[in-house]
């Protein structure tokens, strides 16, 4: 009976340009130098099991125990890793899987050095061409796998071959030359047929909206674009809302169709301008509603009222602590410590701009206050 194939690694290399990676630089800027420790530990956990790991509720506790950082901070670091592209957000959203193309490429490289069979049975982000398998390398032609020019929608006339043009008794070198030319023509025709320059023709706005509203990759690119420009709060519902507003504004201006590429570029610039125009008071209505609904709980209502009076910016622009979070803050840290932390956050733009959740910002400030002592 054969041994089970080993999946995990005993080591993995780190590039000397690790800290020059723009994603690492963003992670440090947004979450501080300690975030690299969290990211490195996640890599160790992943490579110990193979090329991916599933996120679960115990993972923040495990990392917290090993690093000494708060679980809330670890969750924020992980969220930032997804936003800047250190992990695949698409796989995380669909299957709670933590991995990336870079992780898998490094895993494959090590397996190759160890002469170990490398298979991406699930959640693979590397194509067969990148793994090193192509039809030419394994000696299979389009004829052998049963694909003809007719089946992909290209006739012999379209790729520039007719019975009159077929060379007869030509020299071997001439045949190769014609073959090369025909191959080049074929590729160009395929591109035209499949619409490789898919952004060059106008498409009705309703079709574009429907198509792009389901494009998670483009949505993530928009989210990252906004994050880079200081817009930290932007979820899927907001994406759909702004996309709808954009289409309405185009129709109001008389536009009924647009090329795909132009539509995407226009939306990218338009949404940043529009959000920044009214970027303040993002949570005003939500927090006012929460304050009103808390009237039956006098202690919690008093807590929220204090925030609204003493920290109006935080009240209007950050998600307020839930009742459960409020109890944790009160019981663990006390009222005086919370008031000091809140006062600092309210007066420090550099602190409050990093967080969209007041609870996490307060925990972070508690950590700074503890270090100062």
| pLDDT single digits (tens) 202-246 | 888 888 898 898 888 888 889 888 888 877 777 887 888 889 888
> Which runs of consecutive H residues, i.e. helices, occur in the chain?
22-31, 35-49, 59-67, 71-84, 89-95, 101-113, 128-131, 172-194, 205-212, 216-228, 236-252, 260-277, 284-293, 298-310, 312-317, 323-333, 335-347, 349-352, 358-372
Q: What is the pLDDT of residue 181?
A: 55
Element (DSSP H or E) covering residue 98: strand 97-98
Q: How far apart are CA 23 and CA 40, in angstroms?
A: 13
CA 303 to chain centre: 36
Within 10 angstroms of residue 305's Cβ, the number of other Cβ atoms is 14
65-124 residue pLDDT tens: 898 898 888 999 999 999 989 999 999 999 899 999 889 888 888 888 888 877 777 888
Of 120, 121, 43, nearest to 77 by C-alpha is: 43
Q: How far apart are CA 50 and CA 44, in angstroms?
A: 10
Q: How far apart are CA 51 and CA 260, in angstroms?
A: 35
Band the pLDDT of 353: cuts 50, 70, 90: low
Q: What is the pLDDT of residue 372?
A: 61
**pLDDT at residue 12 tops 50:** yes
Q: What is the pLDDT of residue 42?
A: 94
**pLDDT at residue 128 tops 90:** no
DSSP symbol at 197: S
Report in angstroms the alpha-carbon separations of 24 from 14, 67, 78, 220, 355: 13, 19, 12, 18, 19
Q: How far apart are CA 360 and CA 135, in angstroms?
A: 52
Overall pTM surpassing 0.85 (yes/no): no
């Amino acid at each position: 009976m054969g041994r089970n194939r080993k999946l995990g690694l005993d080591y993995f290399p780190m590039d000397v340009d690790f800290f020059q990676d723009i994603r690492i630089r963003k992670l440090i800027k947004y979450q501080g130098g300690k975030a690299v420790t969290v990211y490195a530990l996640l890599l160790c956990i992943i490579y110990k099991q193979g090329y991916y790991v599933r996120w679960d509720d115990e993972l923040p506790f495990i990392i917290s125990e090993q690093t000494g950082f708060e679980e809330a901070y670890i969750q924020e670091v992980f969220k930032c890793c997804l936003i800047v592209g250190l992990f695949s957000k698409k796989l995380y959203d669909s299957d709670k899987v933590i991995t990336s193309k870079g992780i898998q490429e490094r895993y494959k490289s090590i397996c190759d050095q160890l002469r170990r069979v490398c298979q991406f049975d699930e959640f693979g982000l590397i194509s067969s061409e990148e793994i090193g398998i192509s039809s030419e390398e394994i000696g299979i032609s389009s004829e052998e796998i049963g694909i003809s020019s007719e089946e992909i929608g290209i006739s012999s006339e379209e790729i520039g071959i007719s019975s009159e043009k077929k060379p007869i008794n030509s020299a071997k070198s001439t045949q190769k030359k014609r073959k090369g030319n025909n191959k080049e023509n074929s590729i160009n025709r395929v591109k035209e047929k499949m619409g490789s320059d898919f952004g060059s023709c106008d498409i009705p706005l309703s079709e574009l909206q429907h198509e792009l509203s389901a494009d998670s990759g483009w949505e993530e690119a928009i989210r990252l674009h906004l994050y880079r420009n200081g817009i930290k709060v932007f979820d899927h519902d907001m994406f759909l809302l702004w996309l709808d507003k954009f289409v309405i504004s185009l129709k109001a201006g008389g536009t009924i169709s647009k090329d795909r590429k132009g539509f995407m570029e226009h939306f990218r610039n338009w949404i940043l301008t529009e959000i920044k125009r009214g970027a303040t008071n993002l949570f005003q209505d939500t927090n006012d509603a929460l304050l009103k609904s808390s009237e039956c709980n006098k202690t919690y209502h008093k807590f929220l009222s204090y925030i609204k009076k003493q920290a109006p910016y935080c009240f209007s622009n950050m998600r307020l602590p839930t009742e459960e979070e409020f109890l944790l803050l009160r019981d663990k840290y006390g009222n005086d410590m919370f008031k000091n932390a809140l006062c600092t956050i309210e007066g420090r733009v550099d602190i409050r701009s990093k967080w969209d959740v007041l609870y996490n910002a307060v925990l972070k400030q508690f950590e700074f206050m503890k270090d100062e002592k």
